[in-house]
Structure 1
Amino acid sequence: MTPRVAVSIAGTDSGGAAGLAADLTTFASLGVHGACVVTAVTAQDTLGVRSVHRVPVPEVGAQLDAVRGDLPVAAAKTGMLGGAAVVDLVAGRLGRGGDQPVPLVVDPVLVATSGAELGDRAVIAAYRRVLLPVATVITPNADEAEALLGRSLPARDAAAALADLGCMVLLTGGDPDGGECTDWWAVPGQVPVALPHEAVVTENDHGTGCTHSAALAALLARGEAPLEAATLAARFTADRLRAGRDWDLGRGRGPVAHTHSAPEETR
């Protein structure tokens, strides 16, 4: 059967843990063909981001046009967008009300785990002004939610406040409690719902947010309802964290496991 297609609009990670590397391998693991639009090239390893080279906006648009002009895109997700003009571009072409709307998952990548800034005030303002109102689901962690809202709120309230901008919200993270973490699912005009899931203790967690949001996009591309896709995406991510928790790769926080089994005859 011909697979569904999802496109990731994000930056590269030279260490192979996050960004497009995580997105494309996650799509493949879930049976979805992955296309990509490169917004930035980073020099990055398990210790942090060393440099960022942003792709010119016309080239980002050309990549997106090439994908959409040839492939039947069933869902899209964003990672690091790098500039307000790229945020505007994505909102205009892919979000609800755009010329070819598809389910759009927005992972608002603003600050790397190492602390490197990947989105400035203009980017945050553009997210709020044009992208979040046309997104299907956004997947911020607590720090990203605080940046988008401009204030710190309890997770439940933060999810509700972000949903007021017009999109569904999957606020990820939360401190582990008895082996579980709690995400919060919020829909505009409704009471947020707690989504507890397994907490995997590991130092190999570089790329977790990208993997989670890519899994959500792949599941939407396959036709899953948003809440079911959110639940399954958490389960998939926990499985990948378990698979790589004993790895010894890199000098910092190692990568989430993005490997999967090859056919028997190629092993």
Structure 2
Amino acid sequence: MNEFFKRNEIIKDAGDTIKANDMEDGAVEITEAIAEVSCLHALRLEGNTVGVEAAKAIAESLSKRPELKRIYWNDMFTGRLHCEIPPALKSLGEAIILAGAELTELDLSDNAFGPDGIQSCRDLLRNRSCFTLKELRLNNCGLGTEGGKILAKALKECHKESSARGQPLALKVFVAGRNRLENDGAALLSEAFGLIGTLEEVQMPQNGITHQGISALALSFTKNANLRVLNLNDNTFTETGAIYMAEVCLHLLELLHLK
């Protein structure tokens, strides 16, 4: 096997990519590794390429692992057709829900799945499996404005449902750079940020956001007093946006890094 085990994690050796098409072709390495771990807390599949049937096989294994906490599924679909990614993600997400896992980290970065991909993750993002989520990374996923809307709605639904159960979503890290979210996506995400109120790190560089979106984000940051890291680099602030952000920064007493 090319996996090695450390602190209840399965970590695939990045130097030897698995091309998992189905149970007979690649997926068996991953499913056997999952079965071998007595207590699986984290699953790292970055750098591999997982097809629809392989995802179903992996999902079957994950549906029996309620102890799973951290998912690193970034850069997991290299060379796959765009139409393959949403059903693969949906199968994997449904397995997490079925297992009743309570996630703390979810990384789907560097998967060019666009709005269709984030739509396939919506049920997971608003499910109780994500009520415990602390870190969400969706860097370079091609979300666009429409994907930003879907993501924002899922986060707001997650916060609403978790609050109703006495366990409000307390997200600390949100990363979504290089997604072309633009003003509409940024504005809707700012509504979610304002509801959550626990963010400590927000990274949204290269999203085509102008001063209208910046002003909406700035307002939401006033409700996240523990914000320590803020990266809005390579968006078009203009003087207007810079003034909004400067005023907000005066009240972010925990802020350590600003780009």
Q: TM-score range by the shorter chain?
A: 0.3 to 0.5
TM-score of the pair, normalised by structure 2: 0.38
Query: Larger strand proportion, structure 1 or 2?
Result: 1
**Structure having greater relative contact order (Cα 8 Å, sep ≥ 6):** 1
Which one has a bigger Cα radius of gyration? Answer: 2
